[in-house]
Chains A and B, each alone.
Chain A
Amino acid sequence: MKALDWCFKKSIWVYHVNAGACNGCDIEILNALTPYYDVERFGIRLVHTPRHADALLVTGPVTRQVRDRLLRLYEATPQPKLVIGVGSCPTGGGIWHNTYATLGGLGKVLPVDLYIPGCPPRPEAILYGVAQALGLVPQQVAPQEYAEVT
């Protein structure tokens, strides 16, 4: 349905999930919600329950403890939904990519639609990322794989 797709793109309600982040990305997300950036212009709103959410904004490298909660949150969110990883940690684990306490990245737990790298990403980058997830602006960076030298 074209009209429903249009409505979805114009009205994204995000739910903010901290999956073991250091709080840096969370503060940048809150910055993006301040009057200075005013995400309500784009129809984006922060909601407080996953039942109302269209997109999960996940920060942090996903610790072992939080994995089950994250999966339950994902299931509690009604379809259609987006998963957006904010920061270096959900993108590839960040500096915790190989520690015992984390799973090293959001992609190992949930199907991720979009990563917004940065430690932390600027509020502009978060807005750009969400706009990119909605197909409003072009992609700027491509993923690259690196192997660790042992």
Chain B
Amino acid sequence: MNPSDVPLAIFYTLVFPGLLFTGVVGLALTWIHRKITAIVQSRIGPPWFQPYADIGKLLGKKMVIPRDAPVIGFLGAPLLAITGATLTAVIVFRSLLQPSAGFVGDLIVLFYLSALPAIALMIGGAASRSPFGAIGASREMSMVLAYEAGFLLAVITVMIHTQSVRLADVHAFQAANGSIAGSPSGLLAMIVFVLCMQAKLGFIPFDISEADTELIGGPLAEYSGTGLALFKLARSMLFLVLPTLCVLLFLGPVRATALSVVGFLPKLLAVLAALILIKATHARLRLDQALRLFWGRIALAGLVAAGLALLGL
């Protein structure tokens, strides 16, 4: 990288398409999600500015650090979460806006970066010196091991289709051969991807590590003020970035033209609607049920998808 690129890189990371843009749009999507949940439950739901007011209020509150808590771990965890979400956002949106940009292996890097918020949750929960945090962290760890397997298998299916680990080649492949979800293996992989995304976002039925009604927030139980705001913001950002990644990987070619934006938004909204409706109409699974689901049926479906892709279907 040239030294002259540094200001541009900082702009990419902090303003557009990084922290600021993804944060603002992600919070707007959080409002849509809360509004749709409210409509499903025959309520009116919150006003449009509600997620912004929540974050603003949390930023204005005092942050309590529990007695004897390791300060670096406790304060570093929210920063790690927001860093992971921001970097994921930069790579995904750069690829969306400039389909030919990117570097070799960015799919693999994305896979690791998108796991950072979950790892931050574990660190924060373990560092909070609270039994709720410790139980939440251990549940999160079990869940991460389970759903990342399915997530990886879905991504591997895409890699087999495109014979590449670059997002740019995924675009090129889909521009030449139609969307990956059009093939049987691609469709199966996308279903696996959406279910794993549900778990990655910590949504019902897979919000087992936070479980408001039994673990009072799990890893987040001891967080207040800024720390809680950063975790919520990271969650909202992932709520924008992961569905975008899903559209990029499975739902057809994206070109950097005005027309493709029009084509892109309905696809994104369809993925979001699937996530929100699963969340609004299901109850929380127990940890053992969720682990059996992910290690059993979902991992199996992912393996079948990868196998079909190897056979060229």
Contact status B56-A78, CB under 8 Å: no
Pick the residue among B34, B222, B223 that contacts A40 (CB under 8 A).
Answer: B34
User: In angstroms, how far is the closest chain B Cβ from the Cβ of A2?
Assistant: 11
**For the complex, is A10 an interface residue (Cβ under 8 Å from B)?**
yes
Contact status A40-B46, CB under 8 Å: yes
Interface stretch, picked from B36-44, B76-84, B104-112, B164-172, is B36-44
Contacts known (A1-B60, A48-B212, A49-B217); A10 close to B50, Cβ less than 8 A: yes
Contact status B41-A35, CB under 8 Å: yes
User: In the complex, A49→B221 CA distance in Å?
Assistant: 6
**For the complex, is B266 an interface residue (Cβ under 8 Å from A)?**
no
Contact status A38-B45, CB under 8 Å: yes
Contact status B54-A78, CB under 8 Å: no
**For the complex, is A142 an interface residue (Cβ under 8 Å from B)?**
no
Contact status A38-B43, CB under 8 Å: yes
User: In the complex, A29→B63 CA distance in Å?
Assistant: 28
Pick the residue among A4, A43, A51 that contacts B222 (CB under 8 A).
Answer: A51
Chain A residue at smallest Cβ distance from B228: A52
Contact status A48-B216, CB under 8 Å: yes
Chain A residue at smallest Cβ distance from B41: A35
Contacts known (A48-B216, A78-B63); A4 close to B56, Cβ less than 8 A: yes
Number of interface residues of B (CB under 8 A): 35
Contact status A11-B224, CB under 8 Å: no
B55, B61, B217, B228 pick with most chain A CB within 10 angstroms: B61
**For the complex, is B47 an interface residue (Cβ under 8 Å from A)?**
yes
Contact with B along A79-97 (1 / 0, CB 8 A): 1100000000000000000
Chain A residue at smallest Cβ distance from B38: A40
Residues in B with CB closer than 8 Å to A4 are 56-57, 59-60
Residues in A with CB closer than 8 Å to B57 are 4, 7-8, 10-11, 54
**For the complex, is A72 an interface residue (Cβ under 8 Å from B)?**
no
Chain B residue at smallest Cβ distance from A81: B61
Contact status B43-A52, CB under 8 Å: no
Contacts known (A4-B56, A76-B64); A11 close to B50, Cβ less than 8 A: yes
**For the complex, is A3 an interface residue (Cβ under 8 Å from B)?**
yes
A10, A35, A52 pick with most chain B CB within 10 angstroms: A52
Contacts known (A40-B45, A78-B63); A48 close to B38, Cβ less than 8 A: no
Contacts known (A40-B43, A43-B54); A80 close to B61, Cβ less than 8 A: yes
Contact with B along A122-140 (1 / 0, CB 8 A): 0000000000000000000
Chain B residue at smallest Cβ distance from A44: B46
User: In the complex, A7→B52 CA distance in Å?
Assistant: 8
User: In angstroms, how far is the closest chain B Cβ from the Cβ of A150?
Assistant: 46
Pick the residue among B62, B212, B213 that contacts A78 (CB under 8 A).
Answer: B62
**For the complex, is A6 an interface residue (Cβ under 8 Å from B)?**
yes
Chain A residue at smallest Cβ distance from B217: A49
Contact status A79-B47, CB under 8 Å: no
Residues in A with CB closer than 8 Å to B223 are 51-52
Contacts known (A48-B216, A54-B57); A78 close to B225, Cβ less than 8 A: yes
Residues in A with CB closer than 8 Å to B224 are 51-52, 78
User: In the complex, A80→B55 CA distance in Å?
Assistant: 15
**For the complex, is B176 an interface residue (Cβ under 8 Å from A)?**
no
Residues in B with CB closer than 8 Å to A40 are 34, 38, 43-46, 50
**For the complex, is B262 an interface residue (Cβ under 8 Å from A)?**
no
Pick the residue among A3, A52, A79 that contacts B62 (CB under 8 A).
Answer: A79
Interface residues in B257-311 (C-beta closer than 8 Å to A): none
Q: Which residues of B contact A (CB under 8 A)?
A: 34, 38, 41-47, 49-50, 52-57, 59-64, 132, 212-213, 216-217, 220-225, 228
- Closest 8 CB pairs between A and B? A7-B56, A4-B60, A48-B216, A10-B53, A7-B57, A51-B224, A38-B43, A11-B53
